[in-house]
Structure 1
Amino acid sequence: MNKDIYIKQQNEKFDVLVVGSGITGGWAAKEFCERGFKTLMIERGRVVEHRKDYIAEGKPVWEYDNRSKVDNLLIEQQYKIQKDCYAFHDGTKQFFGNDRDLPYETTEGTDFRWIRGNQLGGKSLLWHRQSYRMCEDDFLANKRDGVGNDWPIRYDDIADWYSYVETFAGISGSKENLPNLPDGEFLPPFAMTGPEKALKAKIEKAFPGRNLIMGRTAHLTEPTLLHLSQGRVQCQTRNECQKGCSFGAYFSTQSSTLPAAAKTNNLSIAANSVVHSVIYDETRNRAIGVRVIDNDDLSTREYFADVVFLCASTIGTTQIMLNSTSKKFPNGIANSSGVLGHYLMDHNYNARATGDIEGFDDEYYKGRRPSSCYMPNFQTRPELYRKGYLRGFAYGINTYRSDWRGKSQQDGIGSDFKQQLSTPGKWGVDFSAQGEMLPHFDNQMSLNPNKKDKWGMPLINFNVEYRENEKAMMDDAAEMGAEMLRAGGCTNVKSGTSYELPHRAPGIAIHEVGTARMGRDPKTSVLNQYCQSHDIPNLFVTDGSAYCSSGVVNPSLTFMALTARAVDYCAKEMKAQRL
């Protein structure tokens, strides 16, 4: 990439400022640049160059001093929270935030795990790539249940935008014709194993309406000419994605949207630029730029543009907005409703069921498939709810054969023990629930003006907890998972929940949403149906902050669709000189 794309001090006024470079920031920059708008992408972290900076890519586990385990002292000093992420290890730690330099608070009696990837590309380098559309029932749930505000959009409003981003990003999956999980524009799915096919047949026969499918994931199983033109090629099924992928086989900012934006010559990037606040012109009622603190030397600067898109992640964006105060907005910019920072949600991963699968001793798998199977939420409407709780959950379903990693903990010595380690064990299966979290006003993030970080930003205080609805849901999910495994012929079935474990706290799903929600009524919401501020016409928020409910599916695909749709609307408004 042309080095001239990176700037620091800049007097030029841009058409658009995009704050953040992750999944939504990458899409916003691409869409604006391709429409001819001079765009500045602002990223608080360092530059990560595609391929060059994937320093651990291809490094086998035996070449690490501690077999990829991070040194305990380093964890204690820098990664006490980040270590709880599924993707954290010695080969990926460079893409995680340093907890020592990134402190925050939690209200006594609560817990929140804030996982951060502060670099160009953000957490698009670390995500698990599961890509699902929300269904019509997801957008209707708040209205039906009377919990939270009604979404100002419906499925049909973004269906075409789902197709648009799926085609560009590359999503593998199977057409299933399920009303609770709409089909998309798919590349061929990864193949199921024999045990998975057997489980699918037995469970779907025993429980009509519960469908076990191959996971839909942002991997190029068969790249199209569009993907090849991006410099991306077929997935090699290494399942080392979070180290970075030089093949560009999974979707990330670096592999896909960033080169597309850069190709237009309309993109500039300000890295190592911590956005402190939005600059607001009260006389014009417009956001005119942002104040920035240098990540390294703590010097300050400002960038200006006609439009500001906040794509810094749910928490990052809301922190900036709460910190952007003025006479008109003393409690945060665009916060006349008073709901900014409230209704924070994350998915609930606190139920599991496991079992052994008998037979299939002559079958193994080739490669390391980067996706597991999936059972979509089958409780999408009130008449389908169970046991006194609202909403539902999905299951991530993983099958495997036990191998040396588990057997290495057993007692043994000599050649016979070595032979045991090299012989595959039984097949097993793991059902892990992913449940919806209801929107509650008191689940919130706020700023502590008396405590600040190294950049002078007030520390965030999280007051978020799972409530009785989420706990009842997970109890049921554990029970139903076990029931299905038994129906699938599994033995040694076990199930349970795990609220007491810190790594199951809110935040650890890394699907946080809801703190600057959309809505029809400016008195109860921050954004309209196009992710545009009700209060300030040229201020947009297109990351997870905009959500009205968490839904059940992984949110990143919806982030992409909402962002592309918002840019399309904004670009038309700009050309019509209405902003």
Structure 2
Amino acid sequence: MSATMDSACDVLIIGSGASGSLSALVLAQAGLDVLCLEQGNWVDTKERAHERPDWAWQRQDTWNPDVNSRSNTDDYRVDTNASHVLMWNGVGGSTNVYGAIWPRYRPSDFRKGDEHGLQPNWPISYEDLAPFYERVDRLLGVSGLAGDPAMPPREQFPTKPLPFSRSAQKLSKAFDRLGWHWWPAEAAVISEDYDGRPGCNSCGLCFGCSRGSMSLFSQSVWPKALRAGARLQTNARVLRIEIGRDGRATGVVWKDRISGREERTRANVILLGANGVGTPRLLLTSDNLANSSGMVGRNLLHHTLVSAQIQVEEQVDGHVGHIASLISREFAETDLSRGFVNGFNFNCLTSSPSAAELSNGWLGGSAAPWGKGHHQWFEKNFGHSITLLAMGDDLPNPENRVYLDDAVTDADGIPVTRVNYAPGENDRRMMNFGLDRLVDIGRAANAITIELNDYRDTQGVYRTPAWHLLGTCRMGDDPEMSVVNRWNQAWDVPNLFIVDGSTLATGGVVNPTPTVSALALRAAEYVRDNYLELSRTTRSAVT
């Protein structure tokens, strides 16, 4: 069916998540006509799982961060061999279901090619990105404590650290006994009133904050972008990006999911922020766009993940407060004596709320029994558990990828998206080492029990809940080995910019949203400052 209506704008943004919202804010504030197309809808605060008495169950069902574990009409089908797929179609994107843990990449993450050569160097350095980290932090009101000796110096955080929980106090003593690094976790959660939003009240297990204390980008960024003049079209599924005779993007064809009508929107510059699955999907279905390197969809990075749930004798109230308590970079850097390159980070998390103990525990932990022994189990366990994650920097593998199944299409005629992922041998050695270190922490904390989860089944298939979707349109300085350049600009399509996590050249050992956000802000400012040059050769085609 041909598109029936035409419209135009200066800059078109696909996807309204962290990167799309920041891009819209920067470009609208510059006076450009900005339109963002979002496949999903606004999320009503009253619908969030946290506001419902059965919210722990809803977190496993309707509000599950894994797109394949919930039923949501805004989603599209993603077939995967093993991994969870964390994404959310809706205003604010995956920040609707993230934990808002907010650590930065380390300087070494940007130069793995020099370090061991099994990953590429980034075409930029930590120092290039540091000012953008700072600006995003100030915009969101990130909380934390400056001075972490494992990281470069930085400015003071906009808001003070979140309360140091009882579980954090317990773990800090365990890390001290081991002589290992630890530091209070940074969070995109305001600890005090900031920019018209109320400070965190420590109500617990932050997965969608109706108060606005957590920086869901639908609440912290989009209101500013809309006031600046950006336009946001929800329920708009982009079907393909169109290219002119000169090889530049001219616009997109999208489907209004309410009316069913196809429309065409023309634009001088397009920014693509549909996440590490959605972005390669759209490029591949747009006649293999921006893929002269063959790297679109390749080198999917998830982060390796192993975890432990420990039980301690003291009441630590792990169900209270922000999800993260401590971070440890003790094993973040490469040390070849361990038998692998790269490293991992410890995320020390809260434990389950009472209802979650009944469903399936926390990240694969033991669930409470039904019937005989139920009350005794609760008395012994609830409020006594702490969750530990060892999240590692997986090596890129071109066979870990996002691709299209041309034999199976959805209702809009788009091929179904498939995801293939498996950790390599280096990743597995790192995971095994991490499991041993989790035992060390449990013993140093005088844990009564230590339950390990490595998410590998008896056949070795890795069913990771690590979730992150990175690397599938990676940044580089060689157009034959990357999809975008140092400014997130597609090598093949000069007025197309990719601003989501798919451009990350390496995965690091920490949650990626701070880095994705800083890169998006940097790319948007580049588009703002170079808009006339970027749009000059396409203006006649779209006006």
Matches within 5 A, 1:435-514: 435-495=392-452, 497-500=454-457, 505=462, 508-514=465-471
State whether residues 402 and 427 of structure 1, in contact with CA within 8 Å, keep that contact through their aligned partners in structure 2.
no
Structure 1 residues 155, 498: CA separation in 2 closer, same or farther (over 3 Å shift)? same
Matching residue of 1:45: 40
Is structure 2 residue 236 aligned with structure 1 residue 313? no
Tell whether the 8 Å contact from 1:444 to 1:462 is kept in structure 2 after alignment: yes
Q: How far has the Cα of 1:455 moved from its partner? A: 1.2
Letter in 2 for 1:372: A
Structure 2: distance between partners of 1:159 and 1:133: 9
1:304 Cα offset (Å): 0.9
**Alignment partner, residue 477 of structure 2:** 520
Structure 2, gaps ≥5 residues long? 359-366, 537-543
Moved more, 251-260 or 195-204: 195-204
Quote the Cα distance in structure 2 between the aligned partners of 1:486 and 1:237. 28
Secondary structure of 1:352's aligned partner: strand
Give yes or no for contact 2:9–2:266 (8 Å, CA) kept in 1. Answer: yes
- Cα separation, 2, equivalents of 1:153 and 1:462: 28
> 1:257-406 maps to which residues of 2 (within 5 A)?
257-264=221-228, 266-283=229-246, 285-325=247-287, 332-349=288-305, 351-358=306-313, 360=314, 365=317, 368-382=320-334, 384-398=335-349, 405=357
Superposed displacement of residue 248, structure 1:
1.3
C-alpha deviation, 1:259, in angstroms = 0.6
> Structure 2 CA distance, aligned partners of 1:116 and 1:195?
29
C-alpha change, 1:373 and 1:182, in structure 2 (3 Å) is farther
Residue equivalent to 1:197: 169
- State the AA in 2 paired with 1:26: S
Q: How many Å separate the matches in 1 of 2:223 and 2:354?
A: 40
In the TM superposition, residue 460 of structure 1 has moved relative to its aligned partner by 1.7
Aligned equivalents of 2:252, 2:460: Cα separation in 1 = 35
In the other structure, the counterpart of 1:251 is 215
Q: Name the stretch that deviates more: 541-550 or 366-375.
A: 366-375
Displacement after TM superposition at 1:199 (Å): 3.3
**In structure 2, what is the Cα distance between the partners aligned to 1:529 and 1:184?**
25
Does 1:102 pair with 2:97?
A: no
Paired residues, number = 524
What one-letter code is carried by the residue in structure 1 that aligns with 2:221?
T
Q: Does the C-alpha gap of structure 1 residues 561 and 484 become closer, same or farther in structure 2, counting only changes over 3 Å?
A: same
Q: Is residue 68 from structure 1 mapped to residue 57 from structure 2 by the alignment?
A: yes
Q: Deviations over 1:114-163 (max 9, x none)?
A: 34322222222111111111110111123322123221010000100000
State the shift of 1:440 in Å: 1.0
* 1:428 CA displacement: 3.3
Aligned residue number for residue 103 of structure 2:
132
Distance 1:253 1:537 in 2: 28
Match of 1:574 in 2: 531
The CA RMSD measured in Å over matched residues stands at 3.3
How does 1:410-449 map onto structure 2 within 5 Å?
A: 427-449=384-406
Letter in 1 for 2:285: N
Give the drift of 1:379.
3.4
Instruction: Give the AA of the match of 1:524.
Output: M
Residues 1:538 and 2:495 aligned together: yes
Cα deviation, residue 422, structure 1: 6.9
- Counterpart code for 1:253: F
TM-score (norm 1): 0.82
1:412 positional shift: 5.5
Q: Deviations over 1:201-230 (max 9, x none)?
A: 3423432xx322222111111133xx12xx
- Measured against aligned partners, the alpha-carbon deviations of 1:382-410 in whole angstroms (never above 9, x if no partner) come to 3x244321211112223669979579637
CA contact (8 A) 2:5 2:262 kept: no
1:178 maps onto 2:149 in alignment: yes
Contact 2:332/2:342 (<8 A) preserved: yes
For the residue of structure 2 that corresponds to 1:17, the secondary structure is strand
- TM-score using structure 2 length: 0.87
Q: Do the aligned residues in 1 keep the contact of 2:298 with 2:399 (CA within 8 Å)? A: yes
- Structure 2 Cα separation of the partners of residues 550 and 156 of structure 1: 18
Identity of aligned residues (%): 24
Contact 2:167 2:325 in 1 (8 A): no
Aligned to 1:5: none
- SS of 2:207's equivalent? helix
User: Is residue 119 from structure 1 mapped to residue 119 from structure 2 by the alignment?
Assistant: no
Matched position secondary structure for 1:238: coil
Q: Residue 131 of structure 1 contacts residue 554 of structure 1 at CA under 8 Å; is this kept in 2?
A: yes
The structural deviation recorded for 1:535 is: 1.8
